[in-house]
């Protein structure tokens, strides 16, 4: 069955002019994997692809995609016998114009005499304007061979080229030979400054620093520019997560917000989208710090506040929380009051009423349902407590804002010509 699936996939690829290679673990050099590029055209012994390197770099039960330094993409998967790897490629995700070719030669410090044979080479490499079908074909093959847990890994450009030192011509400007160092140092300094601004909840400073960071050059690490932009944005998300953690925001709040950003990041389709998402991230993490910064509290009180903030419907009584954390109830009560300036019961009630206010203003839920969602089983007790804290009943609170909105709308309409 497995052989039939593999053979069927191979036939689809070959019928669409894709180059397919099988690499054996015990094999030697495989100069044909790249259709002879490194051996016959570049003529470099240092650039040979070996079976040892391939099997060391590939994880079983995963589909690997790697775009090399020549902008060629390869799909690779180790077959179930664990001794054979199927590699399809090269394919191009972008067209290589003659100008791009010359820029590539300059970046890789390859002599211009190779321009003509490389141009002919690229003419024989399949170009994919949309790589989704190619990637999905291999993901489907992986799932057929190894099950639904199979996933995709995207590798860096030097995956096949150990000879190419990562810093070689990195952001190189010919008349400023060491500017790459300056750019990298500036970038790290700016990132550290942004982390500091977010840790202190200073959104204005963080956004200004981010605007400055936008103006620095970042190297394109993958030929797929959109994937590269998304990866930089994910890196930014990670840095900001750590900044919020340094500020004392509990991980549960950070994780919730960070996870909500993942689908947003994956929707990025251009550089402008990325800038908007990253500014949204700066705003969001600064708000987390402002709303949930707990560094001034002891670890135990931080954990209690996190429990209250994330589940208002739970049993948040003193006895329940002291049992949960394995501490004496009297000790917990005294510690919480000392650090927060209010009793545990008052803090819980304040949080529940604040959440009730949001539901009253932003939903049409009946008051009984709102009371339930805020952890109250008795709607009459809820109304009594709400009035004591908010100085009005839940019904009056909701109506006062409705009337306020109507008055504001009326003023706007009167001011219109």
Evaluate if residue 48 carries a pLDDT over 60: no
Q: How confident is the model at residue 28 (pLDDT cuts 50, 70, 90)?
A: low
Quote the percentage of the chain above a pLDDT of 90.
17
Gap between the Cα atoms of 92 and 306, Å rounded: 49
Distance CA 302, CA 254 (A): 14
Q: How many CB atoms lie within 10 A of CB 73?
A: 26
Q: How confident is the model at residue 191 (pLDDT cuts 50, 70, 90)?
A: confident
Residue 300: pLDDT over 60? yes
Top-confidence residue, 344 or 246:
344
Rg of the chain (C-alpha set): 30
Question: Does CATH place domain 299-413 in 1.10.10.60?
Answer: yes
Q: Measure CA of the first residue to CA of the last residue in the chain; give whole Å.
A: 76
Q: How far is it, in rounded angstroms, from Cα 157 to Cα 66?
A: 7
Round to whole Å and give the CA distance between 108 and 166: 11
Question: What integer pLDDT is reported at residue 307 of this predicted model?
Answer: 87
SS3 29: strand
Mean of the per-residue pLDDT values for the chain? 80
> What is the per-residue pLDDT across 316-356, written as a single tens digit (0 to 9) for each?
999 999 999 999 999 999 999 988 888 999 999 998 998 99
CA–CA dist 199, 193 (Å, integer): 10
Please report which confidence band the pLDDT of residue 413 belongs to, taking 50, 70 and 90 as the band edges. Answer: very low
pLDDT-based confidence at 223, cuts 50/70/90? low
Domain extent listing, the chain = 2-155, 179-292, 299-413
- The kind and range of the H/E element at 74 are strand 72-78
**DSSP per position, 333-383:** HHHHHHHHSS-HHHHHHHHHHHHHHHHHHH----HHHHHHHTT-S-HHHHH
CA angle 194, 196, 202 (to 5 degrees): 80
Task: Identify the top-confidence range among 131-145, 310-324, 399-413.
Answer: 310-324
pLDDT attached to residue 188: 83
Q: Are strands 151-155 and 62-67 parallel, antiparallel or unpaired?
A: parallel
Q: What integer pLDDT is reported at residue 168 of this predicted model?
A: 44
Residues 105 and 125: their CA atoms lie apart, in Å, by 18
CA–CA separation, 135 vs 252, rounded Å?
34
CB 172 within 8 A of CB 180: yes
**pLDDT confidence of residue 177:** 53
C-alpha distances in Å from residue 187, one per residue of 66, 190, 203: 26, 5, 19
- Yes or no: say if 369 and 360 are a contact pair by the CB < 8 Å rule: no
pLDDT one-digit tens code per residue, 164-179: 444 444 444 455 555 5
Question: How many other C-beta atoms lie within 10 A of the C-beta of residue 171?
Answer: 17
Answer whether the bond into residue 157 is a cis peptide, omega within 30°. Answer: no
Question: Are the C-beta atoms of residues 294 and 250 closer than 8 Å to each other?
Answer: yes
Tokens 């006895």 belong to: 319
Distance CA 75, CA 71 (A): 13
pLDDT at 312 over 50: yes
For the stretch 348-396, pLDDT in tens is: 999 899 899 989 888 888 999 999 999 999 999 999 999 999 899 998 8
* pLDDT bracket for residue 218 (50, 70, 90): low
Q: Per-residue pLDDT tens for 89-141?
A: 899 988 888 888 888 887 776 777 788 888 999 999 999 887 888 888 888 88
Structure confidence at residue 323 (pLDDT): 92
């Amino acid at each position: 069955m497995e052989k039939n699936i593999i053979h069927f996939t191979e036939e689809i690829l070959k019928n669409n002019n894709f180059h397919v290679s099988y690499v054996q673990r015990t094999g030697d050099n495989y100069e044909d994997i790249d259709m002879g590029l490194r051996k016959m055209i570049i003529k470099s012994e240092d650039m040979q692809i070996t079976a040892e390197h391939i099997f060391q770099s590939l994880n079983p039960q995963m589909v690997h995609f790697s775009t090399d330094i020549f902008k060629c993409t390869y799909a690779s998967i180790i077959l179930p016998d664990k001794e054979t790897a199927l590699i399809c490629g090269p394919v191009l995700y972008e067209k290589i114009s003659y100008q791009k070719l010359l820029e590539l030669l300059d970046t890789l410090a390859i002599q211009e005499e190779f321009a003509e044979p490389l141009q002919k080479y690229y003419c024989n490499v399949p170009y994919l304007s949309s790589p989704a079908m190619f990637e999905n074909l291999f993901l489907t093959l992986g799932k057929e061979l190894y099950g639904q847990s199979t996933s995709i890994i995207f590798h860096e450009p030097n995956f096949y080229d150990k000879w190419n030192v990562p810093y070689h011509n990195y952001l190189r400007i010919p008349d400023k030979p060491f500017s790459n160092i300056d750019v990298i140092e500036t970038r790290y300094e700016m990132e550290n400054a942004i982390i500091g601004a977010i840790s202190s909840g200073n959104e204005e400073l963080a956004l200004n620093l981010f605007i400055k960071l936008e103006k620095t050059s970042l190297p394109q690490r993958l030929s797929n520019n959109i994937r590269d932009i998304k990866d930089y944005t994910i890196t930014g998300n990670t840095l900001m997560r750590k900044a919020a953690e340094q500020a004392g925001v509990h991980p549960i709040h950070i994780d919730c917000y960070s996870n909500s950003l993942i689908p947003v990041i994956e929707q990025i389709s251009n550089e402008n989208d990325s800038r908007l998402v990253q500014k949204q991230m700066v705003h969001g993490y600064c708000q987390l710090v402002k709303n949930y910064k707990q560094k001034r509290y002891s670890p135990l009180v931080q954990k209690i506040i996190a429990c209250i903030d994330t589940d208002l419907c739970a049993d948040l009584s003193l006895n329940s929380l002291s049992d949960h954390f394995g501490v004496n109830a009297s000790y917990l009560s005294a510690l919480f009051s000392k650090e927060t300036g209010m009793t545990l019961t008052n803090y819980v009630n304040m949080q529940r009423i604040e959440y009730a206010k949001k539901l009253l203003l932003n939903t049409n839920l009946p008051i009984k349902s709102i009371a339930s969602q805020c952890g109250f089983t008795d709607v009459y007790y809820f109304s009594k407590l709400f009035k004591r804290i908010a100085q009005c009943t839940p019904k009056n609170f909701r109506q006062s804002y409705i009337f306020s909105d109507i008055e504001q709308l009326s003023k706007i309409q009167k001011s219109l010509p």
